[in-house]
Amino acid sequence: MYINFESIWIYLKLLQEYFRNILQWFHRSKGSKNLNGKVVVITGSANGIGREMCRLLNRFGCHLAMIDIDHFTNKELASNLSSSSPSWTKTIAYKCDLTNLDEIDLIVGQILLDFDHIDILINNAGYVNCKRIGSLSQDEIRRTFDVNILSSIWLCKQLLPSMIENREGHIVAISSIAGLLGNANLVDYCASKHAVIGMMKALELELDAQNLNFIKLTTICPLMISTGMFRKLHTRFQWLYPILTPESVAKSILDSIVREDFLVTIPKHCRIATILESVCPRTLLKMAMKFLQYNCGEH
């Protein structure tokens, strides 16, 4: 009788990894990544989650390259952070329209001149319309994809060489639960956020194939957040499917970066919904979503 020991070993390793991930889901470690002195590029830094992330990263002693189209607010925040941070840290605000790839190229070049290298890229900038698909214009759809996914791909392409040369890096992408489950009045937004998840999964495999595992990836999928982007939010059970605050989401993102998690839902228990989606009939899921009344009204 022929026994393929290599196959048995692979199956055992898969089982080990499976149960390790289950244990980690119930008991997540605090992580050991040291952020002090790291150079962080973050998009959408002037407001919302990005603003809160900058404040937290500043407390950890990070150098910040803050990218936003709202230059006045962004520059004001950078100035405030600089005045409260150690003298050896750099905090610089950059104005950039993320729908313009030429502008992104120029900003990346300037950032690499100002900071020499990049340790962490946080693709946080987002755009949403909150309209039914029939009400969306071509420009609105294009802008959604330009900001939410195409700029992320372009920034990864431009900044990966610096991480590879430095033999260290971490790319963080802000997706959404809506990118996993979908939501009415958010067709273009959900599609773009689903693309973010696909990009990060593919990038992980591509880096792994090149033995570049020292570059870590983290994809964040929060529920909807009260940042002003979503103005007509509703949930039937705040304790189960809450409307999140930028402060709580920013803290969860930072914790996930330190732990080097790959895919994170905020709150954590929402991961169960994504698992159920793959095994339950679609009609049952739609009934559950109607019952929960978790939605964003058209505006």
- Among residues 94, 189, 241, 294, which one is catalytic? 189
- Tell me how far apart the alpha carbons of residues 79 and 60 are, in angstroms, rounded to a whole number: 17
Spatial CA neighbour of 40 closest among 183, 253, 185: 253
For 221, the token pair is 């999928």
Residues 52, 53, 59, 65, Cα dihedral to 10°? -120
DSSP code per residue over 156-208: HHHHHHHHHHHT-EEEEEE--HHHHH--TT-HHHHHHHHHHHHHHHHHHHHHH
**Cβ pair 99, 141 in contact under 8 A:** no
What are 120's strand-pairing partners?
40, 170
Residue with tokens 């195409």: 150
Task: Please say if 189 is a catalytic residue.
Answer: yes
CB atoms within 10 A of CB 46: 24
**Cβ pair 113, 165 in contact under 8 A:** no
Residue with tokens 């939605």: 295
The distance in angstroms from the start CA to the end CA of the chain is 68
The helix/strand/coil state of 90 is: coil
Q: Kindly report the backbone phi and psi dihedral angles of residue 225, in degrees, each rounded to the nearest multiple of 5, phi listed first.
A: -120, 145
- Tell me how far apart the alpha carbons of residues 221 and 181 are, in angstroms, rounded to a whole number: 11
Residues annotated catalytic, as ranges: 189
